[in-house]
Amino acid sequence: MAQRRPLYIGSNLVRAAAAPYRYLLTMWLILTVLATTVGTAAAASRIKDIVDVEGVRSNMLVGYGLVVGLDGSGDSINGSPFTEQSLIGMLERLGINTRGDNIKTDNVAAVMVTGTLPAFTRQGSTIDVTVSSLGDADSLLGGTLLVTPLLGADGEVYAVAQGSVSVGGFSVGGEAETVTQGVPTSGRIPGGAIVEREILFELSDMSEINLALRNPDFTTARRIQDAINRYTGTSMAVATDPATVRMTLPPSLAGDVVGLLTEIEQLEIVPDQPARVVVDERTGIIVMGENVQISTVAVAQGNLTVRITETPQVSQPGPLSGGTTEVVPRTQVDVDTGADQQLGVVEGGLTLQELVQSLNALGIGPRDMISILQTISAAGALQAELEVL
């Protein structure tokens, strides 16, 4: 009889012939640990995706300008007086005096130009801008934006925009019908603004860095703190509040802030979230978190429905009877008091899936479910925050 070879699992010697049950139990434990590890890793998120670094931010820019070259689809001078004033002022700066003259043109449109200046954008770089009509122009298709300064919140000019407007929509038609697709009064100019001023921010000179959580939470902030300290082997990170994790840089890492942030933002943690139910009464959308719990309650849903149906019939008299043809009304009234609706008991400690299944079993639609959730919350049986949009 051939001798069975021993099997090695980790550092334990397991003889399959002598202990088959122990072998199977060990393999089951290993598969369980692997499954748990894979599930945890799948739910983890990078720190990069859940926090913002204080100081690394974009800035909004806005400007007022003119779009010219429109094919009769611009502002009407009478309906948009600011377009006329802007046109006169622009021509005067070019040495052309038109004051007192009756200007009639529909090839010009007043527009607002908006853009976003990303962090650390250097002078001479280009950014995209959006051009939106301000007057009664019908379309910006084929127009060209003239030189437009873009201002920041402090009133300083940070970029200058100019270029051909790219419009995705159109509007055509005649006297009886008009066809419009998209929004022809708004367009974009890719790379249409040149950065003229930089926003000074020296990241390498910082001795403290604050990480701002996009979804503030005490548990998530603490997990970020522990992950950073465990990776660096120090206690440099401290969760000061549910929205902020402060990192005090040691002297050994001075001057290499970018390298440190590159390593930290790749660390993975499992974000925690509070039990919350968000409902939108306008659209009937309901979003529930996984930690929503319901205490034991009884739920009944029924409506009084009265349906009135008119089915008039024509009464035709017999031949030579001397009668006249008349329309005889026929009315049918149906009343549904909801008596067939049953009172359902929703057991306590239900999970999200079980709650939805219980309410669906009662034949409850999304909009009725919103009212039920609000009533359950008012009764104190919804162990979660209810937010109504």
Write the pLDDT tens digit of every residue in 112-123: 999 999 988 999
Evaluate whether 115 touches 151 at the Cβ level (below 8 Å).
no
Tokens of 181: 């697709």
Coil vs helix vs strand at 241: strand
CB-based contacts of 376: which residues, under 8 Å, 6+ apart?
294, 297, 299, 382
DSSP state of 233: T
Tokens of 198: 């930089």
Q: For residues 190-200, give the mean pLDDT.
A: 91
Q: Tens digits of per-residue pLDDT, 290-324?
A: 777 777 766 666 654 455 565 777 777 767 666 67
Evaluate whether 136 touches 81 at the Cβ level (below 8 Å).
no
Residue 73 has pLDDT above 50, yes or no: yes
The reported pLDDT for the residue numbered 138 is 87
Evaluate whether 98 touches 42 at the Cβ level (below 8 Å).
no
Q: For residues 132-154, give the mean pLDDT.
A: 92
The full 3-state SS of 46-115, as one line of letters, equals EHHHCEEECCCCCEEEEEEEEEECCCCCCCCCCCCHHHHHHHHHHHHHCCCCCCCCCCCCCCCEEEEEEE
The whole-angstrom separation of Cα 111 and Cα 133 is 4
Evaluate whether 126 touches 155 at the Cβ level (below 8 Å).
no
The reported pLDDT for the residue numbered 379 is 77
Model confidence at 252, pLDDT cuts 50, 70, 90, reads confident
Instruction: Note the pTM of the prediction, 2 decimals.
Output: 0.65
Q: Which residue has the higher pLDDT, 83 or 289?
A: 83
318 phi and psi, to 5 degrees? -70, 165
- Residue 260's closest CA among 53, 41, 45, 122? 53
- Residues 365, 387, 382, CA angle at the centre, nearest 5°? 70
CB-based contacts of 229: which residues, under 8 Å, 6+ apart?
235, 236, 237
Q: For residues 138-145, give the mean pLDDT.
A: 90
- Secondary structure (DSSP) of 283-308: TTEEEE-TT-EE-SEEE-----EEEE
The reported pLDDT for the residue numbered 126 is 95
The whole-angstrom separation of Cα 146 and Cα 144 is 6
DSSP state of 16: T
Coil vs helix vs strand at 358: helix
Evaluate whether 128 touches 114 at the Cβ level (below 8 Å).
no
The whole-angstrom separation of Cα 79 and Cα 95 is 26
Tokens 């301000």 correspond to what residue? Answer: 134
Residue 172 has pLDDT above 90, yes or no: no
CB-based contacts of 121: which residues, under 8 Å, 6+ apart?
127, 195, 198, 199
The reported pLDDT for the residue numbered 37 is 45
Model confidence at 281, pLDDT cuts 50, 70, 90, reads confident
| Domains of the chain with CATH codes | 59-167+182-195 (no CATH), 203-269 (3.30.310), 277-314+326-388 (no CATH)
Number of H helices, E strands in the chain: 6, 27
DSSP state of 275: -
Q: For residues 12-25, give the mean pLDDT.
A: 43
The whole-angstrom separation of Cα 169 and Cα 178 is 13
- Residue 140's closest CA among 163, 109, 115? 109
The reported pLDDT for the residue numbered 329 is 73
Task: Give CA separation, 152 vs 57, 61, 92, 189, in Å.
Answer: 14, 5, 26, 19
The whole-angstrom separation of Cα 384 and Cα 247 is 33
The reported pLDDT for the residue numbered 177 is 65
Evaluate whether 161 touches 129 at the Cβ level (below 8 Å).
yes
